[in-house]
């Protein structure tokens, strides 16, 4: 039997599960009595976890005297708002004496794919999930039916255990938007976070000792015939997926690059809302843009001190004894900033932001304004022209630009670059590449200059006493010499860039 399930996973501390169980919103919506289950599942894979690495989870779960074999296929990140997961599921009954999955119970295409992935390696037990589940059916006023599962237990793999304390909302009938609305209500009652991984994904990561890593944004793919509304959804979803893909690296591993990529995703989202605002949007779009700005600002101090430590402080050859006091202050400030960033990433406000963003994408509750272009290609050229004109207005005076003006040109070029990434699939890649190359090179130079400006602020704040101020002066002097050379390079790059014809404009004979 094959099916698809749309579910939204929330994780929390065990004490919060009881808060959820007693939540007034659930008492109003519940249908029938809650039931309890003991779910003992064994997950099978090759020794190198070929199935799990390709988005598959194959398990046997005891049900009465028999087993239920289930194959789950990779979540569809392009649907269900990107926070909820759209999963393929294939079930079959096996006898009670079964000790391994029966691939013959699967559709031929999936059976062949599994055998190809296994490549002759044995498919054997790799992970055990032992869960106590409480299930309650709920019905929304709109008529949507949802199964609420409260799970508590553990995953066991490779001699290691990982606790499980989570909530699953699975849509049984109706609109996926109902999952977000219920989750938003629950988030006001308990401290919840979005669960990005299934139990099998968590277990296999445990088995291999895999640490979540930072992820750069993938290419944005917009079909040449896409409507304006299609492009809006694709771009906003791309930003949300990029953000969530880096949350674990930042929140669980304190990865500087993970935090950086989260801020990039947030800046991209804000740029997307701004780019499309003249032609499509709505009240919630403005709210989400404001929340993205709040979140990026809250993460900014940690990012600034990460960059200061690696790019400003470490390259300078300092006397260890004389620099020790300043280095200690920087390390303490960095720890404090990271503590603040982690508090934000574990906050209800951040969870609410993700849920509202997912709901916005699921409901598609936006409107295209009158006289807006019907197709993305028609809009893209005008949007790129607008961003290029704003950058060029400052760029024409580049020889005389000083601190704040240089920073403003950097921001305008960054917005142009984001717009190019959003719309580049609508154009010839060979024409896009050199244009993006110039922008990337300029962004690197402007980024370094901005890091130096930030370093001035950090050192002014943290340097106390003659010895620290002398160390700070040496650090700044070392980087100022480099910055002067870099700025001359930026001027040359800008002039070459300004002389390059924009590829998105119609060519005349």
Q: Percentage of residues in the chain with pLDDT exceeding 70?
A: 96
* 231-289 confidence digits (pLDDT tens): 999 999 999 999 999 999 999 999 999 999 999 999 999 999 999 999 998 889 999 99
The predicted model gives 432-438 an average pLDDT of 87
DSSP state of 369: P
Both tokens of 321, joined, read: 């004894």
- Per-residue pLDDT, 2: 47
DSSP state of 427: S
- Per-residue pLDDT, 43: 93
Both tokens of 227, joined, read: 């409507």
The predicted model gives 301-325 an average pLDDT of 93
* Element (DSSP H or E) covering residue 5: strand 2-11
Gap between the Cα atoms of 150 and 18, Å rounded: 9
Tokens 């920073």 correspond to 407
**Angle ∠(201,54,170) on CA atoms, nearest 5:** 50
Both tokens of 142, joined, read: 């709109």
The predicted model gives 322-333 an average pLDDT of 94
Tokens 């029966």 correspond to 102
Classified as helix, coil or strand, 210 is coil
Gap between the Cα atoms of 486 and 479, Å rounded: 10
Classified as helix, coil or strand, 45 is strand
Gap between the Cα atoms of 503 and 129, Å rounded: 54
Which of 6-20, 204-218, 395-409 shows the lowest per-residue confidence on average (mean pLDDT)? 204-218
Both tokens of 501, joined, read: 């014809």
* Element (DSSP H or E) covering residue 36: strand 30-45
* 458-471 confidence digits (pLDDT tens): 999 999 888 899 99
* 187-232 confidence digits (pLDDT tens): 999 999 999 888 888 888 887 777 788 999 999 999 999 999 999 9
Domain ranges of the chain: 2-208, 228-498
Tokens 């499509």 correspond to 280
CATH class of 2-208: mainly beta
DSSP state of 190: S
The predicted model gives 497-509 an average pLDDT of 76
Both tokens of 79, joined, read: 């649907």
pLDDT level of residue 508 (50, 70, 90 thresholds): very low
pLDDT level of residue 80 (50, 70, 90 thresholds): low
* 155-177 confidence digits (pLDDT tens): 998 888 899 999 999 999 999 99
Q: Concatenated DSSP letters for 125-167?
A: EEEEEEEEEEEEEEE-TTS-EEEEEEEEEEEEETTEEEEEEEE
pLDDT level of residue 1 (50, 70, 90 thresholds): very low
Q: Which of 451, 130, 410, 104 lies closest to 303 in space, CA to CA?
A: 451
Q: Percentage of residues in the chain with pLDDT exceeding 90?
A: 67
pLDDT level of residue 81 (50, 70, 90 thresholds): low
* 486-497 confidence digits (pLDDT tens): 888 888 889 888
- Per-residue pLDDT, 166: 96
pLDDT level of residue 79 (50, 70, 90 thresholds): low
For the chain, the first-to-last Cα distance in angstroms comes to 61
- Per-residue pLDDT, 442: 86
| Residue 394 CB neighbour total at 10 angstroms | 18
Gap between the Cα atoms of 136 and 214, Å rounded: 37
* CATH for 228-498, options being 1.10.3080.10, 3.30.360.10, 1.40.20.10, 1.10.10.10: 1.40.20.10
- Per-residue pLDDT, 439: 87
Q: What is the mean pLDDT of the chain?
A: 91
**Angle ∠(487,489,491) on CA atoms, nearest 5:** 75
* 84-118 confidence digits (pLDDT tens): 777 778 999 999 888 899 999 999 999 899 999 99
Beta bridge partners of 39: 131
Beta bridge partners of 327: none
The answer on pLDDT for 394 being more than 60 is: yes
Q: Which of 57, 67, 121, 61 lies closest to 87 in space, CA to CA?
A: 57
Decide if 105 contacts 94 (C-beta within 8 A): yes
The answer on pLDDT for 3 being more than 80 is: no
Q: Which of 376, 69, 49 lies closest to 232 in space, CA to CA?
A: 376
pTM above 0.85, yes or no: yes
pLDDT level of residue 509 (50, 70, 90 thresholds): very low
The answer on pLDDT for 8 being more than 70 is: yes
């Amino acid at each position: 039997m094959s099916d698809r399930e749309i579910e939204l996973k929330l994780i929390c501390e065990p004490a919060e599960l009881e808060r959820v169980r007693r939540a007034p919103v659930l008492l109003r919506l519940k249908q029938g009595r809650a039931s309890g289950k003991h779910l003992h599942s064994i997950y099978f894979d090759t020794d190198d976890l070929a199935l799990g690495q390709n988005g598959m989870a194959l398990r046997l779960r005891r049900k009465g005297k028999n087993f239920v074999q289930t194959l789950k296929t990779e979540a569809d990140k392009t649907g269900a708002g990107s926070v909820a997961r759209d999963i393929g599921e294939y079930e079959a009954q096996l006898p009670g004496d079964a000790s391994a999955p029966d691939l013959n119970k699967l559709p031929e295409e999936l059976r062949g794919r599994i055998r190809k992935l296994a490549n002759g390696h044995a498919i054997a037990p790799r992970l055990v999930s032992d869960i106590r589940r409480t299930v309650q059916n709920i019905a929304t006023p709109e008529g949507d039916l949802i199964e609420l599962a409260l799970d508590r237990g553990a995953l066991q793999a490779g001699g290691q255990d990982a606790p499980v304390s989570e909530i699953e909302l699975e849509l049984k009938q109706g609109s996926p938007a109902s999952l977000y609305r219920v989750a938003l209500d629950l988030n006001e009652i308990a401290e919840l976070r979005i669960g990005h991984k299934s139990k099998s994904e968590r277990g296999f990561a445990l088995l291999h000792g895999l640490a979540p890593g930072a992820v750069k944004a993938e290419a944005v793919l917009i079909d040449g015939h896409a409507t304006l509304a299609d492009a809006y959804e694709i771009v906003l979803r791309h930003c949300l997926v990029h953000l969530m893909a880096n949350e674990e690296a930042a929140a669980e591993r304190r990865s500087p690059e993970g935090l950086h990529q989260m801020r990039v995703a947030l800046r991209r989202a804000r740029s997307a809302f701004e780019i499309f605002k003249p032609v499509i949007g709505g009240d919630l779009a403005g709210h989400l843009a404001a929340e993205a700005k709040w979140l990026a600002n809250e993460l900014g101090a940690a990012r600034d001190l990460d960059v200061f430590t690696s790019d400003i402080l470490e390259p300078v050859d300092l006397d260890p004894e004389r620099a020790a006091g300043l280095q200690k202050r920087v390390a303490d400030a960095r720890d404090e900033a990271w503590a603040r960033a982690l508090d934000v990433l574990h906050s209800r406000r951040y969870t609410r932001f993700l849920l509202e963003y997912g709901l916005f994408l699921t409901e598609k509750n936006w409107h295209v304004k009158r006289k807006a272009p019907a197709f993305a290609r028609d809009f893209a050229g005008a949007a790129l022209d607008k961003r290029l004109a704003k950058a060029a207005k400052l760029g024409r005076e580049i020889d005389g630009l000083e601190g704040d003006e240089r920073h403003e040109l950097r921001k305008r070029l960054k917005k142009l670059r984001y717009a190019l990434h959003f719309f580049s699939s609508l154009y010839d890649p060979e024409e896009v590449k050199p244009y993006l190359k110039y922008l990337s090179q300029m962004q690197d130079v402007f980024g370094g200059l901005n890091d130096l400006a930030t370093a001035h602020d950090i050192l002014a704040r943290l340097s106390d006493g003659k010895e620290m101020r002398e160390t700070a002066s040496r650090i700044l002097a070392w980087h100022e010499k480099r910055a002067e050379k870099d700025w001359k390079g930026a001027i040359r790059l800008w002039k070459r860039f300004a002389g390059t014809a924009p590829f998105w404009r119609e060519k005349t004979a």
